[in-house]
Structure 1
Amino acid sequence: MEKVRAKKHLGQHFLKDLSAAQKITGLYRSTGPVLEIGPGMGVLTQYLVERKDLELFLVEIDRESVAYLQKHYGFTDKNLFDADFLEVDLNRVLGLTPDDKFGIIGNFPYNISSQIFFKVLDYKDQVQEVVGMVQKEVGQRIASPPGNKDYGILSVLLQAYYDIEYAFTVPPGAFDPPPKVDSGVIRLVRNYDKVLGCDFKKFKLVVKTAFNQRRKMLSNALKPIAAQAEFPYENKRAEQLDYTQFVEITKAIFE
């Protein structure tokens, strides 16, 4: 197969380093349906189509890229969707039921990478694995343990359901055009042994409220939702707690 090189358009940064592309796709170890976000001109796709254990779907918002992928790989509207990932019903486009499992892979656009992971959380019982390239600091934040400045809202929410690995860094020279920052590749694997034990929406509200004023003690940071409630860890800051401790707080406030 002729190996595809990245094409520059839409002002985005497209991966041109084929060894990095192979490493990224090699990290993905699940089988069955997998959705590639923003395949562009197929730099990752060319390796994914070689995997006979995958049922590959793609979502791409750029029509020039859609036309290229249709021409060079024979994708049709059954497996290649000209759409915005953030707006589509994933079960509908993939032809899945809420009980079906699938994975996600891609070189995620910097400007929507956090939104992509919030959408992953909407499908957390179905998304069994995610391999994504993001801005390095975003990847470090998601994989960060409690106790440092990188740790934040997405860290807590994703770690409540996924085992997370920051895999490797990709330098600017691997892209066309080169970005001004390093990129990072992360891998998330759903851990179905993790059971939250409280309402997710309330848990998410507690975490977001706590980190909105992350420099304050939780006794002050959580006043907007817990003015009359007693809860543990009042004298801690949000970045000091892991997801299990936020679960304890959620139960204390709402149950």
Structure 2
Amino acid sequence: MVRSCRSPAPRTGCQNPGRRHRQPGPQCQPTVAVGRHLAATAPVGNRLRLNRPQRQRQGLPRPRKRFGQHFLVDGGVLQDIAERVAPTPEDLVLEIGPGRGALTAPLRQRLERFVAIEIDRDLCAHLRERFPEPEVRVIEGDVLHLDLRQLLEEEQRSTLHVVANLPYNITAPVLFRLRDHADVVRRAVLTLQKEVAERLVAQPGCRAYSQLTVFLGQCARISIARLIPSTAFKPRPKVDSAVIDVEFQPGRVPVDDLRLFETVVKAAFSQRRKMLRNALKSLPAPDGTGTVTTVDLERLADEADIDLTQRAEDLSIGQFARFAAVVGAAGSSA
């Protein structure tokens, strides 16, 4: 066999062997898609530029997942929340988790001075540059470790008015911390998960009625001010949110022994689908030895006018307080 010495014709475009030569058409040109779906042929530099968020080009710190950050960006909602903050001359306004300062800006227009606490170091630097003192004092730290009474002394105020867009992962700890300081926290305007807001305002007999409802309701009057769709946040969360108005009233439901009250409530809700006859068996005996007997439990329930065939979600806050008082009195006389 004799091989040809002629050079092969140059191949262009999308020519396939054995077919007539065609000029490369638009369909044969490599394309670069926009957004997240980039063609594999796009240079790495192009991919990075196309995927780079606008916030980075503007020098804004991006949300951090470990802090549960979802920034509220709806201007109308932000203005509405700011207008709900109405401090007295004795109040110090404390903004928890200001983020990039979306709510801080309208608050600054309404208040002479307030304090903002932010755990994210990069956001703190951004906030201090955008909102210099004396109008806004930015504290870098965790609100769960902030000494609220010392802060009041430093700012020469007697009570706190809290405003916050709470990350979902620290909502309950923050609520309990505010409850523990109900004597110095006068009011709070909080943005939190809609489901949590519904639990906080639930009534006895409702499935949403919970341990959190009882603990916060014992010392505060809570109402839902408005709902916020998930589209009002960046990045968008999977659930909707709500703004609640919390007016703290220490002793709203009088409790003789707060620790014992908490013990009773926790025991009742630890097995919330069971009757109180079974759920409350873990309570300590009146004489302090072991757990309460069935006979003692029925006697205490009769004295407190509590039906042990009910479940935890059926008792009002006042009934929990009354039963705890009876348990405490029995222990004192034992």
Superposition TM-score, scaled by structure 1 size: 0.90
> Of Structure 1 and Structure 2, which has the larger fraction of its residues in strand?
1
CA spacing shift, 1:7–1:140, aligned 2, 3 Å: farther
Q: Does 1:178 align with 2:236?
A: yes
The 8 Å contact of residues 147 and 240 in structure 1, kept in 2 or not, is answered as yes
Offset at residue 161 of structure 1 (A): 1.4
- 1:141 correspondence with 2:195: no
Residue type of the partner of 1:245?
A: Q
TM-score, structure 2 as length reference? 0.69
The SS at the match of 1:215 is: coil
What do the CA deviations read for 1:93-142 (whole angstroms, capped 9, x no partner)?
34369x93212111000000011001011101111111111111011111
Residue aligning to 2:94: 35
Q: Is the 8 A contact 2:152 2:158 kept in 1?
A: no
SS in structure 1 opposite 2:262?
helix
Pick closer, same or farther for the CA change 1:193–1:61 going to 2, 3 Å: closer
Gaps in structure 1 of 5+ consecutive residues: 1-5
Task: Indicate yes or no: 2:80 matched with 1:26.
Answer: no
Counterpart pick for 2:325 among 222, 228, 251: 251
Q: Within 1, Cα distance between the matches of 2:81 and 2:98?
A: 13
Amino acid at match of 1:203: F
1:89-168 correspondence runs (5 A): 89-95=147-153, 100-168=158-226
Tell which deviates more after alignment, 189-198 or 141-150. 189-198
Q: Specify the structure having the higher radius of gyration (Cα).
A: 2
Partner SS for 2:208: coil
- SS state of the match for residue 140, structure 1? helix
Tell me what 2:71 maps to: 14
Amino acid at match of 1:9: P
Within the candidate set 188, 191, 194, 2:249 is matched to: 191
Partner amino acid, structure 2, of 1:21? L
Q: Secondary structure at the match of 1:179?
A: coil
- Whether the 8 Å contact between 2:189 and 2:246 is mirrored in structure 1 is yes
In structure 2, list runs of 5 or more residues that go unmatched: 1-59, 285-291, 330-334
For 1:123 and 1:192, the matched residues in 2 are separated by 9
Residue 49 (str. 1) matches residue 103 (str. 2): no
d(CA) in 2 for partners of 1:151 and 1:8? 36
Q: Is the 8 A contact 1:28 1:129 kept in 2?
A: no
Deviation digits for residues 46-68 of structure 1, max 9, x if unmatched? 1211223x641111000111111
Shift of 1:166: 1.0
Tell me, in whole angstroms, the C-alpha distance in 2 between the residues paired with 1:144 and 1:175.
Answer: 26
Deviation, structure 1 residue 40? 0.7
Deviation at 1:28, TM superposition (A): 2.4
Contact 2:73 2:102 in 1 (8 A): yes
Q: Percent identity?
A: 36
The secondary structure found in structure 2 opposite 1:181 is coil
Shift of 1:193: 6.8
Look up the match of 2:311: 237
8 Å contact from structure 1 (residues 69, 75) kept in 2: no
4+ residue stretches of structure 1 with deviation over 3 A? Answer: none
After superposition, residues 214-225 of structure 1 pair within 5 angstroms as 214-225=272-283
